Amino acid sequence: MEIYFWLGFSIIVSLMLYIDLYITDHSHGEKSFKSAAIWSVIWIAVAFIFGIFIYYYYSKDHKPAIDYITAYLVEKSLSVDNLFVFLMIFTSLKITPKNQPHILKWGIITAIIFRVVFILLGVELIKNFHFVIYIFGLVLLYAAYHMLKEAISKSQKEINLNRNPIIKFLNKFYKIDTNYEGKNFFYKDKITGKLVFTTSFLAFVLVESADLVFAVDSVPAVLAITYDPFIAITSNIMAILGLRALYFLLAGILTRFKYLKHGVSILLFYIGIKLLITDWYKIPSEISLLIIVLILTISIIISIFKKKF
């Protein structure tokens, strides 16, 4: 029976990916705020509709559906925080809004592949080496501390292109055209016939390397909520889908939610504690969902009212 759920989900994701990456690509112009807002609502609605399907058909009890919604909210909030880094990457490399959708398209495809692999590896590690849950818990606590410290100090990491090891490596072995204004990742030099990389490719590599770092927080966070690979993977992928639309929706207003990072850090701290005490006390899924919703809601409300006053 489980194979049918995986098959159905694969069909849904394939359809959503095609729509998101090609039908809504807007490759000939910048994504409009209105278009990004509409598609963001659509992707979120699809994720919750899938949650309803899990509620009624996946299991006799409703715990998997609650775990799915909880994990989805956690992953979505983490992805929103990650958009700050993507914005800095595009700003540092002077990537035009017209070329950003193409980079994010390939970033999303590779992110989905890596997340599936990491989650499956994480589940197997926990099954075979139970002590790993304590390592994951400590990782989340450290991530929460680091994020809260950064939020309180209001410091924002700058991307130093000259010191970045990935860019230094590429500069050493390949030619990089920083004046190229198209969306292609590379092209062949007409004179030398050698491969030339573009700033779009550099942006893609930096986005991917950033996502791999984010996965260090993301995967333990979702595994703290559920060990079910289907729920963990579907909630993670649903949170990633539509990320491009969400980026263009929030790109201009991300700075207004200055207390969201505080909220996400508290959220990670709670999940880390939940994971560390799981052998002694299992916090009910309903309570976790309520706590996470409250943390995110309060951080958004404080951001809005602090901005006004």
2-49 residue pLDDT tens: 788 888 888 888 888 888 777 775 444 445 667 777 888 888 999 999
Tens digits of residue pLDDT in 12-25: 888 888 887 777 75
Q: CB–CB of 260/306 below 8 Å?
A: no
Q: Is 88 exposed, middle or buried (0-12, 13-18, 19+ CB in 10 A)?
A: middle
Tens digits of residue pLDDT in 103-134: 888 888 888 888 888 888 888 888 888 888 88
Strands 195-198 and 175-177: parallel
Strands 186-188 and 195-198: antiparallel
CB count within 10 Å of CB 193 equals: 7
The pLDDT score that the predictor gives to residue 309 is 46
Calpha distance 258→298 (Å, rounded):
12
Contacts 24+ apart (CB under 8 A), 180-183: 181/96, 181/99, 182/99, 183/27, 183/98, 183/99, 183/102, 183/103
Calpha distance 222→72 (Å, rounded):
8
DSSP 3-state assignment of 195?
A: strand
Q: CB–CB of 261/217 below 8 Å?
A: no
CA dihedral 124, 128, 132, 133 (to 10 degrees): 80
Q: What is the CA radius of gyration of the chain?
A: 20
What pTM did the predictor assign? 0.83
Tens digits of residue pLDDT in 214-259: 787 788 888 889 889 999 999 999 988 878 777 777 765 666 667 7
Angle 62-242-303 (CA atoms, 0-180°, nearest 5)? 85
- For residue 119, give the DSSP letter: H
The pLDDT score that the predictor gives to residue 89 is 80
Nearest to 288 by CA among 301, 271, 275: 271
